[in-house]
Amino acid sequence: MDFKSIPEDELFLPGNVACQGCPSSLGLRIALKALGRNTVLLVVASCTSVLQGSYPFSAIDVPLINVAFATGGASASGVAAGIKVLKNRGEISKEPTVLVWAGDGGTYDIGIQSLSGAAEREENFIYLCYNNEMYSNTGTQRSGATPLGAWTTTTPAGKAQQRKDIAQIMIAHRIPYVATVSLAYPLDFYTKILKAKNKEGTRYIELLAPCPPGWKFPSSKLIQVSRMAVQSGMWLLYEHEDGETRFNAVTKRIIDGKVRKRPVKDYLEMQGRFSKVLSSEEGKEAEQRLEDEVSESIRRLKGWVPEYT
Ligand SMILES: Cc1ncc(C[n+]2csc(CCOP(=O)(O)OP(=O)(O)O)c2C)c(N)n1
Ligand SMILES: [Mg+2]
């Protein structure tokens, strides 16, 4: 797989109203290239509900349904059931892929019950959570994905709690495919979407989505921040299928001892949302707790790697 094999056909179009350097729009552009036109997209209430443009215009060139905040899993279950009926009646020959595109607020917090229920029922769709670690559309409030120490409008002194690990929660549902992706590793991202497309059942993919205005960094640094997240271990790239986890890209090289992990501090320093924390005594403690969190996540994931067990 190389860049030349990625289709030139654009399904996420210019003329959208995303902020400059928006990670959701770039992610959606890559994901739709992998899935192609035969896709039904469900967008859970989030920045992505807005950036597509105002009705009757849309920058997204596949059938699209905007759904309520808590309903990603339930709405996709309904669409998947409808597609099955059309297929059984012979009204469609090739079943479209159902893709849910939801933020971290709509996934970690508000939509977790509907996603969990759908996964347990083995409903047939791909669920992609673009995780910008906050409620961005409503002005940067904390979510269950906000890391320890990060500024948001509801954590003005830095968040006091650790983020949860929802990809691990999804693995515990024993679904056929769970993967994490990054905008700095687009081929890994594209390949994982293709892989998910060719599987049946509930598939969960999570994209780290650094948000320039919310995280307070220049929009031109989107890819650098995305890359440092992986290089520092704050975002681990892996995929889980058939009961096994495989680390990918730089994460694998770090774990295999071929590349040195960058300190979490290098990642924190690129973002204004950690500036208060970095300059305080409690900040030093938060920095160490984040390093410990990275080590703990790697140890836990390694428990799934076959040669380790
Ligand atoms: C039941 C309900 N409560 C609140 C809202 C308002 N709302 C719309 S988008 C949003 C934030 C979504 O956060 P997230 O899922 O992380 O997506 P992001 O905005 O970060 O892209 C909120 C609170 C809503 N649409 N529905
Ligand atoms: Mg969000």
pLDDT in tens, 227-252: 999 999 999 999 999 999 999 999 99
Is 80 exceeded by the pLDDT of residue 306? no
Is 60 exceeded by the pLDDT of residue 91? yes
User: Which of 137, 206, 211 is the pocket-test mutation for ligand 1 (most atoms within 8 Å of CB)?
Assistant: 137
Q: How far apart are the CA of 67 and the centre of ligand 1, in A?
A: 11
Give me the pLDDT at residue 307, please.
61
Closest residue by Cα to residue 166 from 242, 208, 207, 107: 107
Q: How far apart are the CA of 281 and the centre of ligand 1, in A?
A: 33
Nearest C-alpha to atom 13 of ligand 1 is from which residue? 135
Place 281 in a pLDDT band, splitting at 50, 70 and 90: confident
Is 50 exceeded by the pLDDT of residue 266? yes
Residue 26's H or E segment, with its range, is: helix 23-35
Does ligand 1 have an atom closer than 6 angstroms to the CB of 83?
no
Q: How far apart are the CA of 88 and the centre of ligand 2, in A?
A: 37
Q: How far apart are the CA of 46 and the centre of ligand 2, in A?
A: 7
Give the bridge partners for 86, in sequence order: none
Domains of the chain and any CATH numbers: 3-308 (3.40.50.970)
- From the CA of 111, give the closest atom in ligand 1: 15
Q: Which residues contact 1 (CB under 8 A, 6 or more apart)?
A: 187, 190, 191
Percentage of the residues of the chain whose pLDDT score is greater than 90: 90
Higher pLDDT, 245 or 307: 245
Q: How far is CA 304 from CA 110, 169, 182, 308, in A?
A: 28, 14, 21, 8
Closest residue by Cα to residue 232 from 280, 293, 171: 293
Residue 247 DSSP SS3: strand
Is 60 exceeded by the pLDDT of residue 309? no
**Residue 180 exposed, middle or buried by CB count within 10 Å (0-12, 13-18, 19+):** buried
Residue type, 280: S
CA atoms of 125 and 84, how far apart (whole Å):
12
Give me the pLDDT at residue 280, please.
83
Residue type, 109: D
